[in-house]
């Protein structure tokens, strides 16, 4: 019996099935198709062997049995090629989800199988040469290559949707099948087709579909990359699932060996919850996913498990090590619209949890907050691209000169619908996504241009104040960037006062001082903004090369309701004035407050008593009227 080649292929398939099934699988599309490919190819090889037996023993077997087995083998051969095509198209999401495309390829496969079954077939046997022929076999050699060559072509036409590794492995797989089929067509005694498919699947398993590819090397559970693939698939299928995220510090401050032992102990414990898939998300964080579409009771079970897990983390690991952990519970993943939003909800809520908060339930409110953030981020990006960043100006009154001598430039963003987005909404988002530098530079550019083009000096304005974000203060090229903008807009640096906050000095202090000194040498002046909030410290005034101190609105308002605050503020004003700095009182809203600040010795007043922040046109009209009156 000339079946030694097919027998090798069958042994290879059985080994692949064994190694594939001995590991837990995550259930990705590609895993499902690969499992189906293994089964179909194994059946194909078995039918190939049976067809050889049938042909060799045709004298003792009924004719319909021999012909039937031969035709079934050809149908399985077509099925194997079809599944290879499905595996390849799986990487191209728009093809995988295209109902018309999928219906067409299934019809082609169905027609091929139909013709194979109804058309006549014959066979040949002489010595070791055994093969079938006829119209049925011819149809197989027409339809199967359609899928094999189609898969190969797809790796070129749609290769941009596949990573290089997947493209190359699929090409090797299909090339092996083409080579085996060609050799068998030329040399019928070489029954290589089934073995060629088995070798292709073997390469596919080793390179792409071994379950270990999806595992984290240290812990042996599913990796963070696998989590992303799994979440993508769950959202594509619109499946309901429950998530528990166990968050710990990234640095446990212990040696690598001890950290590994604890990680493995945690992994083994979390892996005991059988209805959940366990992923190592990032660092030392873990994610448990319950597929509640399959297990309706999972929402109840997961809530119970969460309490059990929290209780376990209160006890030491590895004998004496207690791991601080926080827990996020997402009872219905459909609060998010896609996998990216889901992970963002988890990440942001993890970062927001304070020291005393051990767990947080993430519901529709959490999702809507993140969705708003993403909307604001999109508006910021489009506003920067479409020149929808505006600057509003809040006038600053000089008590000594009894006129408006300055104004604070404040960023505003116009949404795509034409409505203003206020700083309280977009500034935190811009800081979160690293867009604050671009906004700051755009505001500075507009401010410089406004000062020059609108001849603000002729209207009594001596300088404009522009805020610097913490991120800008940490940029080594800040002074260089701002110098280029001032040169481009042809404005004297003395016309610009840059506001820094106390939080700007917390990190990268040396970079901030270098920038301040460089800009100061050009002629810019500086204000210390929001004095009286947070970690207020007079050392900032001593150490920083600032010329103006701005009392925060809360500090000004406390002056009128708190005797202690009044005493402290009087002493602070005295010290600042003695150093030789100027003072701006922010948030002044009434005539009584204005008079009190003037009596206190404040130099400048900023607040709603005079004006709210004004758009450029309104600001120019304001100056024309008010400074002329003054």
Contact 331, 303 (CB under 8 A): yes
Q: Which residue has the tokens 């009044």?
A: 566
Indicate whether 54 pLDDT > 80: yes
Tokens of 319: 């004998």
d(CA 499, CA 544): 12
Residue among 131, 125, 124, 126 nearest 5 (CA): 131
| Residue bearing tokens 């004003």 | 573
Average pLDDT over residues 566-577: 92
Residue found under tokens 């599913």: 222
pLDDT of residue 86: 92
| Residue 250 scores a pLDDT above 80 | no
DSSP 8-state secondary structure symbol assigned to residue 322: -
Question: Which residue reads 């005797």 in tokens?
Answer: 563
Q: Residue 245 and residue 29: Cα distance in Å, rounded? A: 24
| pLDDT for position 91 | 82
pLDDT reported for residue 75: 94
Distance CA(383)–CA(162), nearest Å, equals 33
At 293 the pLDDT is 62
Q: What is the pTM of this model?
A: 0.70
Q: Is the pLDDT of residue 389 over 90?
A: yes
R_g of the chain, CA atoms, integer Å: 36
Kindly report the backbone phi and psi dihedral angles of residue 578, in degrees, each rounded to the nearest multiple of 5, phi listed first: -65, -35
Give the CA angle between residues 268, 269, 275 to the nearest 5°. 95
Q: How far apart are CA 138 and CA 122, in angstroms?
A: 11
Rounded Cα–Cα distance for residues 64 and 84 (Å): 30
117 — pLDDT class (breaks 50, 70, 90): very high
The span from the CA of 372 to the CA of 368, in Å, is 6
Comparing CA positions, the residue from 18, 15, 14 lying closest to residue 42 is 14
| Tens-digit pLDDT profile for residues 222-245 | 999 999 999 999 998 888 899 999
Statement: residue 505 has pLDDT above 70: no
Q: What is the overall mean pLDDT for the chain?
A: 89
* pLDDT cut 70: percent of the chain above it: 96
Q: Which of 65, 103, 69, 105 is nearest to 84 (CA)?
A: 105
447 pLDDT band (50/70/90 cuts)?
very high
**In this predicted structure, what is the pLDDT of residue 320?**
79
Note the pLDDT of residue 78. 93
Average pLDDT over residues 357-380: 89
Three-state SS for 301?
helix
- How distant, in Å, are the alpha carbons of 231, 321, 325, 326 from that of 248? 22, 13, 5, 6
Residue 494 binned pLDDT confidence (cut-offs 50, 70, 90): very high
Judge whether residue 542 has pLDDT over 80: no
Give pLDDT, residue 612.
Answer: 96
pLDDT of residue 294: 59
For residue 504, the model assigns a pLDDT of 54
Nearest Cα to 42, choosing from 66, 4, 11? 11
Instruction: Report the pLDDT averaged over residues 446-453.
Output: 95
Q: Is 564 helix (H, G, I), strand (E, B) or coil?
A: helix
Give the pLDDT confidence of 63-104 residue by residue, as tens digits: 999 999 999 999 999 999 999 999 999 888 788 888 899 999
pLDDT score for 538: 67
- Least confident interval from 90-99, 295-304, 367-376: 295-304
501, pLDDT greater than 90: no
The token pair at 414 is 């116009």
Strand runs labelled E in 56-134: 122-126, 129-133
**Residues 594-617 pLDDT 10s:** 999 999 999 999 999 999 999 999
**Quick one: pLDDT at residue 537?**
57
Least confident of 453-467, 504-518, 581-595: 504-518
Q: Is the pLDDT of residue 454 over 70?
A: yes
**Residue 499 φ then ψ, to 5°:** -95, 125
Contact 436, 381 (CB under 8 A): no
pLDDT of residue 96: 81
Interatomic CA distance for residues 482 and 545, integer angstroms: 18
In the structure encoding, which two tokens stand for residue 604, read together? 């400048």
User: Which pLDDT band holds residue 481 (cuts at 50, 70, 90)?
Assistant: very high
CA nearest to 20, candidates 204, 221, 270:
204
Residues 520-530: pLDDT tens digits?
Answer: 999 999 999 88
Give per-residue pLDDT as tens, 398-416.
Answer: 999 999 999 999 999 999 9
**Whole-number Å distance between alpha carbons of 606 and 612:** 9
Mean pLDDT, rounded, for 270-297: 84
Strands 286-290, 325-330: pairing is unpaired
Residue 493 pLDDT class (50, 70, 90 cuts): very high
Q: Which helix (H) or strand (E) holds 618?
A: helix 616-629
């Amino acid at each position: 019996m000339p079946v030694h080649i097919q027998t090798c292929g069958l042994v290879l398939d059985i080994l692949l099935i064994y190694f594939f099934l001995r590991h837990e699988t995550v259930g990705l599309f590609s895993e499902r198709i690969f499992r189906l490919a293994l089964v179909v190819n194994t059946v194909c090889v078995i039918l190939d062997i049976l067809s050889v037996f049938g042909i060799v023993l045709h004298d003792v077997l009924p004719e319909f049995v021999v012909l039937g087995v031969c035709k079934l083998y050809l149908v399985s051969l077509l099925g194997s090629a079809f599944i290879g095509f499905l595996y390849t198209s799986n990487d191209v999401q728009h093809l995988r989800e295209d109902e018309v495309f999928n219906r067409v390829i299934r019809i082609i496969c169905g027609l091929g199988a139909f013709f194979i079954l109804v058309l006549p077939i014959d066979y040949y046997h002489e010595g070791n040469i055994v093969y079938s022929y006829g119209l049925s076999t011819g149809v197989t050699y027409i339809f199967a290559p359609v899928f094999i060559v189609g898969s190969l072509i797809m790796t070129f036409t749609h290769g941009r949707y596949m990573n290089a590794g997947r493209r190359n492995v699929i090409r090797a797989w299909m090339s092996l099948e083409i080579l085996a089929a060609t050799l068998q067509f030329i040399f019928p005694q070489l029954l290589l087709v089934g073995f060629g498919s088995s070798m292709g699947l073997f390469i596919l398993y080793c390179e792409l579909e071994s379950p270990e590819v999806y595992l984290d090397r240290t812990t042996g559970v599913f990796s963070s990359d696998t989590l992303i693939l799994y979440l993508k698939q769950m959202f594509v299928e619109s499946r309901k699932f429950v998530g528990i995220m166990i968050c710990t510090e990234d640095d446990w401050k212990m040696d690598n060996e001890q950290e590994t032992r604890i990680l493995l102990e945690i992994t083994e414990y979390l892996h005991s919850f059988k209805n959940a898939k366990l992923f190592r998300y990032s660092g030392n964080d873990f994610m448990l996913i319950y597929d509640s579409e399959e297990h309706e009771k999972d929402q109840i079970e997961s809530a119970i498990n969460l309490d059990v897990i929290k209780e376990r983390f209160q006890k030491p690991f590895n004998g004496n090590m207690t791991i601080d952990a926080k827990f996020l519970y997402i009872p219905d993943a459909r609060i998010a619209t896609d996998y990216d939003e889901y992970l963002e909800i988890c990440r942001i809520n993890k970062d927001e949890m304070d020291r005393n908060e051990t767990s947080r339930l993430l519901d529709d409110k959490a999702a809507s907050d993140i969705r708003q953030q993403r909307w604001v981020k999109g508006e910021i990006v489009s506003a920067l691209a479409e020149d929808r960043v505006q600057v509003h100006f809040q006038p600053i009154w000089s008590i000594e000169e009894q006129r408006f001598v300055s104004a604070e430039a404040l960023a505003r963003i116009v949404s795509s619908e034409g409505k203003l987005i206020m700083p309280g909404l977009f500034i935190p988002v811009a800081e979160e996504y690293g867009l604050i530098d671009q906004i700051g530079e755009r505001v500075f550019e507009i401010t410089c241009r406004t000062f020059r083009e609108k001849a603000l000096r002729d209207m009594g304005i001596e300088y404009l104040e522009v805020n610097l974000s913490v991120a800008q203060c940490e940029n080594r090229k800040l002074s260089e960037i701002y110098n280029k903008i001032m040169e481009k807009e042809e404005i004297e640096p003395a016309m610009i006062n840059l506001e820094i906050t106390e939080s700007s000095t917390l990190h990268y202090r040396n970079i901030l001082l270098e920038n301040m000194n460089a800009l100061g040498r050009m002629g810019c002046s500086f204000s210390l903004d929001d004095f009286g909030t947070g970690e207020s410290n007079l050392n900032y005034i001593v150490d920083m090369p600032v010329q103006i101190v701005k009392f925060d609105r809360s500090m000004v308002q406390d002056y009128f309701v708190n005797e202690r605050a009044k005493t402290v503020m009087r002493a602070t004003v005295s010290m600042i004035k003695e150093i030789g700095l100027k003072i701006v009182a922010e948030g002044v809203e009434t005539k009584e407050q204005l008079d009190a600040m003037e009596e206190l010795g404040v130099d400048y007043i900023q607040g709603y008593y005079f004006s709210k922040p004004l758009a450029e046109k309104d600001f120019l009209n304001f100056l024309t009227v008010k400074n002329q009156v003054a």
